[in-house]
Amino acid sequence: MFLFFKGINLGIKDSKQIKMNHTDAVREIVKIIPESQEDFKESYQTKTPFMVISIFTKQIKKLIKNHDQKILLKSITKMNQLYKKGDQALKNAIENIFIYSLDSLTFCCEPSYKDLIFSKMSSGLQSNYLRQIYKSGI
């Protein structure tokens, strides 16, 4: 959104940033993991933020399993961005799908690889992960 002065676009963005939704997230995910486009072909898989983040989490699981560190780190960075810029529904999906499954995703990882993954997560995602761990009593 831009501010206008007597019909002239001043190029100043309004202080209220437009939040990213799950449709925007699909485009962002496909940019870093082009093969995920196949997973998003069916329209039902892109109808909700939960479906989108579920597919993205499965892609991250494959990256961890295949030790594709370069794309994995880009994916974690993208998840940070989606969490930071996403609307509330997208944030809820990230908290309930990605954060919730982090332990199972990294269970078989070497400790140093697991540390690398967690070190690339934003402080917001890390604190959310810790909150879930302590909430569950693990």
What is the model's pLDDT at position 135? Answer: 78
Of 116, 122, 121, 119, nearest in space to 68 by CA: 116
What is the model's pLDDT at position 136? Answer: 63
Domains of the chain: which residue ranges? 19-136
Query: Digits of tens for pLDDT over the chain (138 positions)?
Result: 444 444 454 444 444 568 999 999 999 999 999 999 988 887 777 889 999 999 999 999 999 999 999 999 999 999 999 999 999 999 999 999 999 999 999 998 899 999 999 999 999 999 999 998 887 665
Q: Which structure tokens are listed for 92?
A: 């809820």
Q: Which structure tokens are listed for 82?
A: 């989606």
